[in-house]
Amino acid sequence: MDALLAVSAFCEEMYVFFVGDAVSQLVEGQQPKKILSRNYINTFKLMEVCDIENVYLCAESLIQFGLQDSRLIVDAKIKSSNEIADLMHCCSQIITF
């Protein structure tokens, strides 16, 4: 997230994709301190402040992890894996984490 926010200062339009187990990072009500993990929840909310508006979640990943009905901490568009692949093909550079 730190790298994403830093890069947003130099990009006019950025797309962020949450695929696979990454979709679990956006589920509301997590308690990262209980597992001694860093609390990224507030950092994810900074995406909106940094004008990162193109945020997408993979529908199949949500279903795979049983999260399709979960409340999310950010406003994201849910797309199929094929739609996400099409969007990625329009990107000139891709950074994966």
Q: What confidence category does residue 13 fall into, taking pLDDT thresholds of 50, 70 and 90?
A: confident
Structural domain includes residue 19:
yes
**What domain range includes position 35?**
2-89
pLDDT of residue 19: 96
Quick check: 97 pLDDT over 80? no
Residue partners of 17: CB distance under 8 A and separation at least 6: 56, 57, 58, 84, 87, 88
Quick check: 42 pLDDT over 90? no
Q: How do residues 60-92 score in pLDDT, each as one tens digit?
A: 999 999 999 999 998 899 999 999 999 999 988
Mean pLDDT for all residues in the chain: 89
Structural domain includes residue 30:
yes
pLDDT of residue 79: 97
Structural domain includes residue 71:
yes
CATH number for the domain harbouring residue 34: 3.40.1260.10
Number of domains in the chain: 1
Gap between the Cα atoms of 97 and 90, Å rounded: 19
Structural domain includes residue 97:
no
What single string gives the DSSP state of each residue in 54-67?
A: EEEEEHHHHHHTT-
Question: Of 93 and 55, which is predicted with more confidence?
Answer: 55
Structural domain includes residue 85:
yes
Structural domain includes residue 13:
yes
Structural domain includes residue 76:
yes
Gap between the Cα atoms of 85 and 33, Å rounded: 34
Structural domain includes residue 94:
no
Percent of the chain surpassing pLDDT 70 = 100
